[in-house]
A = this chain, B = another copy of it.
């Protein structure tokens, strides 16, 4: 594994355990098995390292989501897509924390910086929802804005509910996301419509995003 990647990996591990605040450059260096100076050979400072870490995790998320969608042969509906998206985000503690604004992980760090910088909206943008409406895949008696908001709201609830209802009282994750997907399927999508392209076009979009991350990586070194 490349050295910068090893460093980001270490930074990620420590950030999930201790949060941005309590993770020091020294810790990262030690965890990655390199000297502190080595970090500064790649990034300008802690802020740049964290930015890179988030990009790194976003890229990991996109790759994971891509893998999931390809593996799921029934992934030909928006509901199924949404379900894989939820599962992928939930697996990535850092992006999850970023999305739910988990104070434990974000700490004061993001608050001191421009907090807007550390918000991720993730897929299901207004534009794509709008496009899916036009394609007859989503019900169109609700505005694209509201549907997008609904997707965000359910994701937030799903990702943060375990701090309100302890996991031992919660149903298994699979049945929860399954139920969300079932509700979305019959509650937000439109029967019929041309579904054959959903999977392919989503993967294409993911490829585009992943390509962008890789291009940025190359430019920065």
Q: Which A144-173 residues have C-beta < 8 A from chain B? A: 145-147, 149-150, 152-158, 160-161, 163-165, 170-171
Total residues of chain A contacting the partner, CB 8 A: 39
Query: For residue A145, which residue of chain B has the nearest CB?
Result: B171
Q: A153: which B residues are within 8 A, CB to CB?
A: 154, 157-158, 161, 176, 180
Q: Are B176 and A187 in contact (CB under 8 A)?
A: no
Q: Are B99 and A164 in contact (CB under 8 A)?
A: yes
Q: A187: which B residues are within 8 A, CB to CB?
A: 182-188
Q: Are A146 and B176 in contact (CB under 8 A)?
A: yes
Q: A90: which B residues are within 8 A, CB to CB?
A: none
**A160 vs B161: C-alpha distance in the bound complex, in angstroms?**
11
**A150 vs B182: C-alpha distance in the bound complex, in angstroms?**
11
Q: Mark A4-34, 1 if CB is under 8 A from B, else 0.
A: 0000000000000000000000000000000
Interface assignment of A119: CB less than 8 Å from any CB of chain B: yes
Interface assignment of A45: CB less than 8 Å from any CB of chain B: no
Interface assignment of A125: CB less than 8 Å from any CB of chain B: no
Q: Are A160 and B156 in contact (CB under 8 A)?
A: yes
From B147, B155, B175, give the contact of A179 (CB < 8 A). Answer: B147
From B99, B142, B149, B179, give the contact of A170 (CB < 8 A). Answer: B149
Chosen A-B contacts, 17 in total, with CB atoms closer than 8 Å, are: A146-B175, A146-B179, A147-B179, A149-B171, A149-B179, A152-B157, A152-B161, A154-B154, A154-B157, A156-B156, A156-B160, A156-B161, A157-B157, A160-B160, A184-B187, A186-B186, A187-B187
Q: Which residues of A contact B (CB under 8 A)?
A: 99-101, 103, 119, 141-143, 145-147, 149-150, 152-158, 160-161, 163-165, 170-171, 175-176, 178-180, 182-188
